[in-house]
């Protein structure tokens, strides 16, 4: 069932003939506008027929009202105006200008809003239904007015607005106009607060610029969490000043024996800040106590036998474990979590906990029961792969579920104890799963995941015995055993990430594969204009 799509009744000669709200509102707005600015909106050039539509937005909004026959024309004279006195609203305005200037060639000055003219971003007057993360967008011939209660909301509204301009607006080079936005209104807010993408930078290392590129791509679909898998058997990717060899030695290779690499703390701060400028919070993961060969290889003293194993460039899992019985292990973890917490504005640290096959069950519990309090000691909350529930991490913790069935009694028990859950079912949300038997990249241990598999499930009802209220949201992990560059990331992440993004944002009532596939098809030209090397799944009616 498509989103609550309401079209204003066909236009009639007299304003009174149109649906009372929209008609009167826009007539009044126009009148107010002329009075306030003396600018006769008829000066606005008659807008050409818009190329984009309010019916193509991904993720699907809560409520869309179209006003056929009306449109806003972006011109060289258009200004972007933002909430006076709000630096963060101004930053969203500058971000929007940065998106539109290259392709339109327009100056698009950003200045405080004195009247809702041009493109206006306001933090006042939004319908309360938008809540803390939503927005309200109103497009008339006179103005595009985006209202929200937070800069997060404005940023999300900008992602919708950019989809209402022609796809060529996404081009990095000057394109011919016209640049029209279809008239209408959107009222929107997210279903879940956690809408995540995970990037594994441990199996293969990705540069700061490659990660920034991914951040820009996921921000376009209202993803608001970037989980960085920073350490594993094959690589340690973050400088820890108290244990320098972790990055220098542990970060010196990767799957296949390449040069690997790591982020200095300065570079990592830059990544976190860049993500924050796209209203994305970074959730850093140091996987413990398994998946630790890179750390064990960096410091002999971390090993039970005092011997450092060689660096590992294969793709096996489950063979490594910190030495649970040694005190130095907890000094090490404490130091790492302390430095990571200092680099993390977000409230969560991810401590992994998956596939600890080389750690006995009692040792695993001993380890987790000593490490979980360290996360709290450094002012953060713990999140981990769902295996860590064995240690009953408590109400503030978040379990990331990566199973392949909704029957997971340990998750229901944890939810009953107040633990909340991020859903990453591997046979739905793992972007490193092959699309089908012909996909060269990726793995297939959880089965093939085509676009429809990634879309056709309901996070609110997925886990048996777990109410929607215990679900924080969804996250799409991209493991990189087989991926080495941005093109390969994009082939696996797009378009399936858009499916997971919609599951995280849109109301369950809008869930409809046929409708989504049609809307996804309209995203194709936009992704192409941005140079995203997406997989043209045969399940989607792509346009030329
Ligand atoms: N499982 C491992 C990952 C990665 C993945 C590849 C989790 C939580 C298989 N653990 O997923 O390290 O190897 O699909």
Q: How far is CA 390 from CA 271, 403, 411, 465, in A?
A: 33, 15, 10, 18
Spatial strand order in the sheet of 135-139: 4-7, 63-74, 179-188, 135-139, 143-147, 118-122, 80-82, 110-112
CB of 404 closer than 6 angstroms to any ligand 1 atom: no
**Residue of minimum CA distance from atom 4 in ligand 1:** 479
Please give the sequence-ordered ranges of beta strands (E in DSSP) within 233-316, or none if there are none.
Answer: 235-236, 281-288
Helices (H) and strands (E) in the chain, counts: 15, 17
pLDDT tens, position by position, 450-489: 999 999 999 999 999 999 999 999 999 999 999 999 999 9
Q: What percent of the chain has pLDDT over 70?
A: 91
Residues counted in the chain: 544
Ligand 1 centroid from CA 207, angstroms: 21
H or E stretch at 504: helix 496-505
Task: Report whether 195 contacts 501 (CB < 8 A).
Answer: yes
CB of 221 closer than 6 angstroms to any ligand 1 atom: no
Q: Map 332-352 to HEC letters.
A: HHHHHHHHHHHCCCCCEEEEE
**Which of the following is catalytic: 355, 392, 410, 468?**
355
Q: How far is CA 292 from CA 202, 350, 405, in A?
A: 11, 14, 27
DSSP SS3 for 475:
strand
Lowest-confidence range among 232-236, 336-340, 391-395, 403-407? 391-395
Q: How far is CA 454 from CA 17, 434, 516, 518, in A?
A: 44, 12, 12, 15
Of 289, 411, 414, 303, which is closest to residue 361 (Cα–Cα)?
Answer: 289
Q: Is pLDDT at 44 greater than 80 in this prediction?
A: no
CB of 354 closer than 6 angstroms to any ligand 1 atom: yes
Q: Is pLDDT at 284 greater than 70 in this prediction?
A: yes
Read off the pLDDT band of 2 (50, 70, 90): very low
Average per-residue pLDDT for the chain:
92
505-474-235 Cα angle (round to 5) = 135
CB atoms within 10 A of CB 44: 20
Answer with the residue of higher pLDDT: 15 or 342: 342
Of 334, 333, 310, which is closest to residue 252 (Cα–Cα)?
Answer: 310
Q: Is pLDDT at 48 greater than 70 in this prediction?
A: no
Cis, bond preceding 44 (omega within 30 deg of 0): no
**Residue of minimum CA distance from atom 7 in ligand 1:** 354
Closest ligand 1 atom, residue 232 Cα: 12
Best residue among 233, 351, 479 to mutate for probing ligand 1's pocket (most ligand atoms within 8 Å of CB) is 479
Residue 91 confidence (pLDDT): 98
Strand-pairing partners, residue 187, are: 63, 136
Within its chain, how far is the Cα of 337 from the centroid?
Answer: 24
Quote the CA–CA distance of 52 and 480 in Å, as a whole number.
35
Query: Do the bridges between strand 225-232 and strand 110-112 make them parallel or antiparallel, or are there none, so unpaired?
Result: unpaired
pLDDT tens, position by position, 84-117: 999 999 999 999 999 999 999 999 999 999 887 8
H or E stretch at 120: strand 118-122
Supply the DSSP symbol for 484: -
Residue 50 confidence (pLDDT): 77
CB atoms within 10 A of CB 461: 13
CB of 385 closer than 6 angstroms to any ligand 1 atom: yes
CB of 430 closer than 6 angstroms to any ligand 1 atom: yes
**Residue of minimum CA distance from atom 9 in ligand 1:** 479
Q: Is pLDDT at 60 greater than 90 in this prediction?
A: yes
Supply the DSSP symbol for 461: G
Query: Do the bridges between strand 398-401 and strand 381-385 make them parallel or antiparallel, or are there none, so unpaired?
Result: parallel
**Residue of minimum CA distance from atom 3 in ligand 1:** 479
- What integer is the mean pLDDT of 362-383? 98
Residue 118 confidence (pLDDT): 95
Residue 305 confidence (pLDDT): 98
Closest ligand 1 atom, residue 385 Cα: 8
Active site residue 170: no
Of 455, 433, 434, which is closest to residue 506 (Cα–Cα)?
Answer: 455
Q: What percent of the chain has pLDDT over 90?
A: 89
Strand-pairing partners, residue 146, are: 121, 137
Lowest-confidence range among 26-30, 239-243, 300-304, 445-449? 26-30
pLDDT tens, position by position, 249-258: 999 999 999 9
Residue 51 confidence (pLDDT): 81
Residue 5 confidence (pLDDT): 45
Of 502, 415, 493, which is closest to residue 457 (Cα–Cα)?
Answer: 502
Q: How far is CA 78 from CA 74, 75, 106, 246, in A?
A: 6, 5, 8, 52
Read off the pLDDT band of 296 (50, 70, 90): very high
Packing angle between helix 513-529 and helix 496-505, nearest 10 degrees? 120
Residue 469 confidence (pLDDT): 98
Quote the CA–CA distance of 35 and 41 in Å, as a whole number.
11
Within its chain, how far is the Cα of 436 from the centroid?
Answer: 25
Residue 78 confidence (pLDDT): 97
CB of 432 closer than 6 angstroms to any ligand 1 atom: yes
For the chain, list the domains and their CATH numbers.
63-188 (3.30.379.10), 194-509+520-529 (3.20.20.80)
- What integer is the mean pLDDT of 345-352? 98
DSSP SS3 for 231:
strand
Query: Do the bridges between strand 135-139 and strand 179-188 make them parallel or antiparallel, or are there none, so unpaired?
Result: antiparallel
Best residue among 477, 492, 493 to mutate for probing ligand 1's pocket (most ligand atoms within 8 Å of CB) is 477
């Amino acid at each position: 069932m498509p989103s609550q799509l309401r079209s204003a009744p066909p236009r009639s000669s007299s304003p009174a003939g149109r649906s009372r709200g929209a008609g009167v509102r826009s007539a009044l707005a126009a009148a107010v506008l002329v009075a306030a600015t003396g600018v006769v909106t008829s000066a606005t050039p008659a807008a050409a027929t818009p190329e984009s539509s309010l019916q193509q937005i991904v993720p699907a909004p809560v409520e869309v009202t179209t006003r056929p026959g009306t449109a806003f024309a972006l011109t060289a004279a258009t200004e972007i105006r933002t909430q006076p006195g709000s630096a963060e609203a101004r930053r969203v305005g500058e971000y929007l200008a940065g998106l539109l200037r290259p392709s339109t060639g327009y100056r698009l000055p950003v200045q405080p809003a004195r009247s809702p003219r041009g493109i206006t971003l306001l933090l006042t007057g939004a319908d309360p239904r938008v809540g803390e993360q939503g927005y309200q967008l109103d497009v008339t011939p006179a103005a595009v007015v985006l209202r929200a209660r937070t800069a997060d909301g404005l940023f999300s509204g900008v992602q919708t607005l950019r989809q209402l301009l022609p796809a060529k607006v996404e081009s990095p080079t000057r394109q011919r106009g016209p640049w029209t936005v279809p008239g209408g209104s959107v009222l929107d807010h997210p279903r879940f607060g956690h809408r995540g993408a995970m990037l594994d930078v441990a199996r293969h290392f990705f540069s700061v610029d490659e990660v920034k590129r991914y951040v820009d791509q996921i921000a376009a679909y209202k993803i608001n969490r970037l989980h960085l898998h920073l350490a594993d058997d094959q690589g340690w990717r973050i400088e820890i000043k108290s244990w320098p060899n972790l990055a220098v030695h542990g970060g010196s290779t990767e799957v296949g024996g390449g040069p690997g690499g790591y982020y200095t703390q300065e570079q990592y701060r830059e990544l976190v800040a860049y993500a924050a400028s796209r209203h994305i919070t970074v959730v850093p993961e140091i996987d413990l106590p398994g998946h630790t060969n890179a750390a064990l290889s960096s410091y002999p003293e971390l090993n039970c036998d005092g011997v450092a194993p060689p660096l590992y460039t294969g793709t096996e899992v489950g063979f490594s474990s910190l030495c649970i019985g040694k005190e130095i292990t907890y000094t090490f973890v404490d130091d790492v979590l302390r430095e990571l917490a200092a680099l993390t504005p977000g409230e969560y640290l991810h401590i992994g906990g998956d596939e600890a096959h080389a750690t006995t069950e009692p040792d695993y519990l001993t380890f987790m029961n000593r490490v979980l309090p360290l996360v709290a000691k450094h002012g953060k909350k713990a999140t981990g792969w769902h295996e860590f529930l064995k240690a009953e991490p408590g109400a503030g913790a978040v379990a990331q579920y990566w199973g392949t069935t909704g029957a997971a009694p340990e998750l229901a028990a944890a939810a009953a104890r107040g633990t909340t859950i991020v859903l990453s079912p591997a046979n739905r949300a793992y972007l490193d799963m092959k699309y089908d038997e012909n996909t060269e990249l990726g793995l297939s241990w959880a089965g093939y995941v085509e676009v429809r598999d990634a879309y056709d499930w309901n996070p609110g009802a997925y886990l048996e015995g777990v109410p929607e209220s215990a679900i924080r949201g969804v996250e799409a992990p991209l493991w990189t055993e087989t991926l080495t560059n941005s093109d390969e990331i994009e082939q696996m992440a797009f378009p399936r990430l858009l499916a997971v993004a919609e599951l995280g944002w849109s109301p369950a009532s809008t869930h409809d594969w046929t409708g989504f596939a049609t809307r996804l098809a309209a995203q194709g030209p936009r992704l192409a204009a941005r140079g995203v090397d997406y997989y043209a799944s045969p399940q989607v009616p792509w346009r030329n």
